[in-house]
Copies of this chain bind each other. A is one copy, B any other.
Amino acid sequence: MSKDIVKPSILPGFMELTPEDQILFNKMLDTIRRNYEKFGFLPIDTPVIEKTEVLLAKGGGETEKQIYRFEKGSTDMSLRFDLTVPLARYVAQHYSELSFPFRRYHVGKVYRGERNQKGRFREFYQCDIDIIGNGSLNIINDAEIPSVIYSTFKDLGFDSFTIMINNRKVLKGFFQSIDIEDSTFVLRAIDKLDKIGIDGVEKELKSLDITDNAIQRIKEFINIKGSNEEVLEELNNLGIDNEVFKEGLEELFEVNKYINLFGVPKDNYKIDLTIARGLDYYTGTVYETFLDEYPSIGSVCSGGRYDDLATHYTKQKLPGVGISIGFTRLFYQLMEAKIIKSEDNSLTKVLIIPMDGFIDNGVKAANALREAGIYSQVYVDGGKIGKIFNYADKLNIPYVIVIGQEEAENNSYSFRDMKTGEQKNISIEEVIKSLK
């Protein structure tokens, strides 16, 4: 390589796809968008760069280390690391222009300088929906969220998936009833159940100085199994006299009742008392979604209810409920597991190949197809027909039209199905008809 040439490469931890994979990626992203819109969520788009003091208003922790932060001029700025903080800032800033309940969706890239490892990305798409209330927000909204998840994953082509539901108040109240006031660390331990098993959880609880008796009660509690109605019944039968617990249980009853009414089949949701969500942020209903046949992928869509979205930016009380799909990681995992494939993905329906001297006919055919809404490309760069067929194959273009002397004289086109190899001489109207 000459010394003037810079090796073309991207930074580690960034995803970049071939166009074929990108087509699939975009299709799936559009499907998510369309489903969010179907349920009345409005789009917003916020700057990728924000003031650091705004993004870190909540305070740093893990996040602060991962953030891409820099100065330009004398301004301290950072790249957003999620879409929730920008939402909080957006709602607080535009409060008087918005109508509540405010349903917004946001599909955009976020940035985290995580440790470099397979399947983890430093730039990734999040697809979020949230419903924000002004002062209060009806619990029925919590029941609608799973129907958005259901509709979206159905439309993405999945059949077997389960939306796990729990309520943080049920957990919190339960812990209070066994004299654990600050349940944050206990919840974090329980949240790891899938990863570290019941023994691992027990060990963590011991390290937190939880009494043996309380640990026993916790184990019994997270062992409650059965149908949703049985779980609710058992929870009720615990006879726990704690206001937070009772409130949570009532919410869980309501959510369970309405989820089904919103059209989510019984097979696709389940109350699971071990779902806690690591974040302290959530205060009521919490969700995680698993692909039944691929549990190792982990939750593909998570979220929950929170009491107050924007405490750091406004005194307005803004409760909300929302979910997020970490789409870049999900796409990577689905591709790795060969659950999705980019084969046969093409936007272009027809490649038109004019022989030498018949470019005019080719262009006219392209015009006619595009006019009819059929995505097509006319190959004007000449060359051997075999090479051009190969080009169509590589791009997964399903149909090819060849135009030469004979076709031009008969005002017809040699129309070839690239999959079957079937070929026939037909008029452009017939081509359009057969493709519509």
- Residue on B with the closest CB to A47? B14
Q: Which of B92, B93, B97, B144 contacts A380 (CB 8 A)?
A: B144
Query: How many copies of the polypeptide does the oligomer hold?
Result: 2
Tell me which residues across on chain B come within 8 A of A122, comparing CB atoms.
Answer: 49
B51 touches A11 (CB 8 A): yes
A73–chain B nearest beta-carbon distance, Å: 8
Q: Are A92 and B138 within 8 A (Cβ)?
A: no
* CB under 8 Å from chain B, chain A span 197-228: none
Contact B261 A360 (CB under 8 A): yes
**Are the CB atoms of B151 and A370 closer together than 8 Å?**
yes
Q: Does A347 contact B (CB under 8 A)?
A: yes
Chain B residues with Cβ below 8 Å from A294 are none
Q: Which residues of B are found within 8 Å of A360, using beta-carbon distances? A: 261
> Counting CB contacts under 8 A, is A172 at the interface?
no
> Is there contact, CB below 8 Å, between A99 and B377?
no
Which chain B residues lie closer than 8 Å to A5 at the CB level?
Answer: 312-315
Determine which residue in A2, A22, A90, A377 has the highest number of CB atoms from chain B within 10 A of its CB, and name it.
A377
Among residues of B, the one whose C-beta sits closest to the C-beta of A73 is B113
Interface pair A104/B19, CB less than 8 Å apart: yes
Known: A49-B11, A381-B101, A394-B99. A17 touches B40 (CB 8 A): no
Cβ proximity bits A216-242 to B, threshold 8 Å, 1 near / 0 not: 000000000000000000000000000
Q: List 17 A-B contacts (CB under 8 A).
A: A4-B312, A5-B312, A8-B54, A11-B47, A22-B42, A22-B45, A26-B45, A37-B347, A43-B347, A49-B122, A69-B70, A70-B71, A99-B394, A101-B381, A103-B377, A141-B380, A144-B380
